[in-house]
Amino acid sequence: MSTAFVAPEDIETETLEAAVKARHWLHRHPEIALREYDTTHFITDQLASYGIETRQQTASGSADDRSDHQLGTGVVADIHGLQGDGPTLALRADIDGLPLAENADHPFASLNPGMMHACGHDLHTASLLGAAKELQGHRDRFRGTVRLLFQPAEESELGAQKVLAAGWLDGVDLIVGYHNHPGLPVGTVGISSKAIMSGNYRFDVTIHGKGAHGSRPEDSADPIAAFTAMSAQIQTIVSRNVSPLEPVVVSITQVRSGSAWNVIPSDLEFHGTARAFNRHSAELIQERLTRIVQGVSDAYAVRSDLDWSVRAVPIENDPDLASALARSAESYALHVIEPQPSLGSDDFADFQHSGIPGLFSFIGSNGDPGASGWHTPNFEAKDSALPYAIDYYTHAVDTLLA
């Protein structure tokens, strides 16, 4: 197999071809959060072929095989440099796909019905496998330890928190990761000392009213009418409480109620997400949402339950790491940019907030006019982004473990 692009001089052609082949296999076989069993086996087998032994742990803390560690899926492994003792640097890639049917005609489209890599985690995983192969073959270039973290369940199920609880990052001094960005051209690497992805907050509301026949609305405590009022007021949380210069989003995304066209239902549930780059804004949204739900419920004689949960905190990059890796990127990237922040989120932030200095960046993966964004059936990350992603990892090691 040969790639459709030229490998950079510092990446072996064999490594890049293996990474492309791995990426295509992963894309054909997407698996959703905490069910990435075949993906886990594939990663483990690939690492073994490079002479890298995985180090999963059972709940009791003793070493065991890949099928019986604490999380059930995901892979962690170490590569020890030959230049002596030094820090432990974790390189992270997420491995899960999404419950979304793919609309693509390329030869490595998903074979798993209703599932696809609509966020490019297959690219992330393949690039870390490529970096692992390079680093294992050049251990004389660095000191300390590189910890390879193939994280499950980034899209849901709080995978980063589970990884931390399992102790997979115990002893790690620094951590580096990235996300592909279809809006940026291939060859672009975006590195910033600022927050580049927002916090992700979920709200779930259930309105308990009183049902009645549609011909007798006076007998009801109508949850639909209450929801309509709540929805209108929720739209003012940002517009009337947050400066227009500050990026904040509140969106209602799901509404469920009723089972008959002529009956006013007794209950209604709605769900949504909020995005913010700082704790103050997140707390303001939660406080205003709580007051709106309670106030409208009282006015409409219904009772409501509100649950607010933190799905991911904002990315907070370490300025020293950002500066060092931005300078390093100039040696391999076509364009090194200060990226525009995204109101998307990534639980890589949990590693940073646990006290591990970290850097999370964007790597251009498409850039074509009209390229589909993350979490869409037509999402496409290009193979040609792989060498830049591999270089991002290996240059991080060269820079931080020199």
Q: Is 215 exposed, middle or buried (CB count within 10 Å of its CB: 0-12, 13-18, 19+)?
A: exposed
121 labeled part of a ligand binding site: yes
- What are the structure tokens assigned to 174, written together? 């620094």
- For residues 164-199, one letter each, b for 16 or more C-beta atoms within 10 angstroms of the residue's C-beta and e for the rest, the string is bebebbeebbbbbbbbbbbbbbbbbbbbbbebbbbb
Q: How far apart are CA 221 and CA 226, in angstroms?
A: 9
375 labeled part of a ligand binding site: yes
What phi and psi values does residue 79 have, to the nearest 5 degrees?
Answer: -120, 120
Residue 134 host element (H or E): helix 121-137
H-only helix segments in 240-317:
279-299
Dihedral angle sign, alpha carbons of residues 39, 42, 45, 47: negative
- What are the structure tokens assigned to 365, written together? 């993966």
For 152, 182, 275, 277, 285, the CA distances from 280, given in Å and listed in that order, are: 30, 30, 12, 9, 9
Cβ atoms of residues 146 and 172 within 8 Å: no
First vs last C-alpha separation in the chain: 34
What are the binding residues?
A: 119, 121, 155, 179, 375
What are the binding residues for Mn(2+)?
A: 119, 121, 155, 179, 375
